[in-house]
Amino acid sequence: MKHPVIGIPCCRWWLKESQFFHLVGEKYVRAAVGAGGLPLLLPALGEATPVAQMLELVDGLLFTGSPSNIEPHHYGAASVDGDFNDPERDATTLPLIRAAIDAGVPVLGICRGFQEINVALGGTLHRKVHEEPGMHDHRDPGGTLDEMYALAHPVRFVEGGVLQALAGCTEAQVNSLHGQGIARLAPALAAEAHAPDGLVEAFSVKGARGFALAVQWHPEWQHQDNPLSLAILEAFGKACAARRDRRG
Ligand SMILES: N[C@@H](CCC(=O)NCCCC(=O)O)C(=O)O
């Protein structure tokens, strides 16, 4: 049986003071494999992206985390000096997300990918969650990779939601490595989990034609050791396999 093809849009970074590279962190590639898929890295072609053709290549899409921030003009905010942006990634992922959701292509968003889905569908972001009144600091604590990706806070699943059904419980501990976060949830999205400060930590697309879930934390990190991460990846992988079967 052929593996479902899981497209992973790349970041586009200037590396080593020499030239641009198109990149995906290895843990996302491994997570796509863990979901039963064949990962296909999609370059950040920006406005030249052949969106419909890219969708024909894949059975699902995984939108990854990244240290870069979505350019604020995409959600109606002013740009900030010194912000680390990746405009070519934005110009690739935002149209791809809208087209994938319209076409019922399974979508999983993680961290920046979660923020991208919200912005693509008309939501807005806090640029510094930790500076918002009453909100906690969701940034990583630094240190070793194990310290950075350690479980950091609980999330409470929305009663009767997709994620609660997948998790089989009401609450779980998650890691946390983001400075930005959802300010206004896009109208097409339903919250699936919240942090103790009320921040939306997961959502699904209301009435989606296919699997469409996103989380602010990192289920790809050492997913093999975490039952919630395994459940999310398994559900995504099954949806991708079902699309592969339908496409023949
Ligand atoms: N820049 C955004 C998104 C944060 C994010 O995706 N972090 C991931 C870090 C690297 C990785 O694990 O892939 C923000 O700060 O909110």
Global pTM value? 0.98
Structure tokens at 149: 């990706």
Among candidate residues 111, 192, 201, 223, the one labeled active-site is 111
Radius of gyration, alpha carbons of the chain: 17
Q: Is the pLDDT of residue 68 over 80?
A: yes
For residue 178, indicate whether it is catalytic: no
* CATH number for the domain running over 5-247: 3.40.50.880
Q: Is the pLDDT of residue 90 over 80?
A: yes
**How close is the Cα of 144 to the center of ligand 1, in Å?**
16
Average pLDDT, the chain: 97
Structure tokens at 215: 């989380």
Q: What is the pLDDT of residues 174-209, one digit of tens each?
A: 999 999 999 999 999 999 999 999 999 999 999 999
Q: What is the DSSP string of 164-231?
A: HHHHTSSEEEE----S-EEEE--TTEEEEEE-TT--EEEEEETT-SS-EEEESS-TTTTGGG-HHHHH
Overall average pLDDT of the 73-101 stretch:
97
Overall average pLDDT of the 11-24 stretch:
92
Going by pLDDT thresholds of 50, 70 and 90, the confidence category of residue 18 is confident
Indicate if ipTM > 0.85: yes
Q: Is the pLDDT of residue 93 over 80?
A: yes
**How close is the Cα of 175 to the center of ligand 1, in Å?**
12
For residue 111, indicate whether it is catalytic: yes
For residue 240, indicate whether it is catalytic: no
For the chain, which residues make up each domain, given as ranges? 5-247
Among candidate residues 126, 138, 178, 218, the one labeled active-site is 218
Of residues 17 and 50, more confidence is placed in 50
pLDDT confidence of residue 135: 98
DSSP 3-state assignment of 47?
helix
Q: What is the pLDDT of residues 138-149, one digit of tens each?
A: 999 999 999 999
pLDDT confidence of residue 17: 76
Overall average pLDDT of the 33-41 stretch:
98
- Atom index in ligand 1 nearest the CA of residue 220 equals 12
**How close is the Cα of 67 to the center of ligand 1, in Å?**
4
pLDDT confidence of residue 84: 97
Among candidate residues 10, 126, 220, 240, the one labeled active-site is 220
| Pocket lining: 66 vs ligand 1, CB cutoff 6 Å | yes
Going by pLDDT thresholds of 50, 70 and 90, the confidence category of residue 119 is very high
pLDDT confidence of residue 122: 98
Mutate to test the pocket of ligand 1, among 177, 180, 199, 220 (most ligand atoms within 8 A of CB): 177
